[in-house]
Amino acid sequence: MDTIDAIKSRRSIKSFKNHEITKDEINQILECAILSPTSYNIQNWRFVIVTEQKLKDEMAQLSYGQKQVSEASLVIVLCADLKAWEKNPERYWKNVPEESRNYLVNGIKQAYSGNTELEKDQAIRSCGIAAQTIMLAAKSIGYDSCPMEGFDYEKVGKLINLPDDHIVTMMVVIGKSAKDPAPRGGQLPLSEVVFENSF
């Protein structure tokens, strides 16, 4: 399936069949996820993959009983390391010449030092981009998905032993749809959402 078809056919699925996703399929999806762009290439996303049924059931309870969490073949909790920018930042640019690497690492430090608002904003942006990559990668290999923000972030964080310098940003559930999706609710026309050069 090409990218345009994946985008046009991807839907948020709320009911999944009983299906076991393979380790190879999970890795295929995650190998795409880590190609998602991040500010200064700091790769601040962290992915907690959940396949154990007992844990999915607990997460479903923390998601206000939303059954797609327990029915999904895979739950990915998208987290972010808020301090990724300062943890050996040279590694993010290991493949560029030393002069360029030094320039970029210095830029990272100048942008992020003492800027907790930027840390959090970039964490959410990075995970949002990665979530879309995950959902499109899943669709391209025959899986359906649903992005989720309706859950208790603090309790899910405790359940997955979230480190103190990380945040949970969202979840994506992945599996095989149990039924055809409902019609789209209604997309606004381009004329209402696209502006050329200014509003």
CA dist 145 and 169 (Å) reads: 17
Over residues 60-77, the pLDDT tens digits come to 999 999 999 999 999 999
* Single-letter code of the amino acid located at 139: K
Over residues 72-100, the pLDDT tens digits come to 999 999 999 999 999 999 999 999 999 99
Q: Under a CB-based contact definition with an 8 Å cutoff, are residues 163 and 32 in contact?
A: no
Predicted TM-score of the model (pTM): 0.95
- Relative orientation angle of helices 23-33 and 116-140, to the nearest 10 degrees: 130
The size of the chain, in residues, is 199
Task: Supply the pLDDT for residue 175.
Answer: 98
Q: Determine whether 63 is exposed, middle or buried from the number of CB atoms within 10 Å of its CB (0-12, 13-18, 19+).
A: buried
Over residues 114-167, the pLDDT tens digits come to 999 999 999 999 999 999 999 999 999 999 999 999 999 999 999 999 999 999
Q: Does pLDDT of 184 surpass 90?
A: no
* Single-letter code of the amino acid located at 181: P
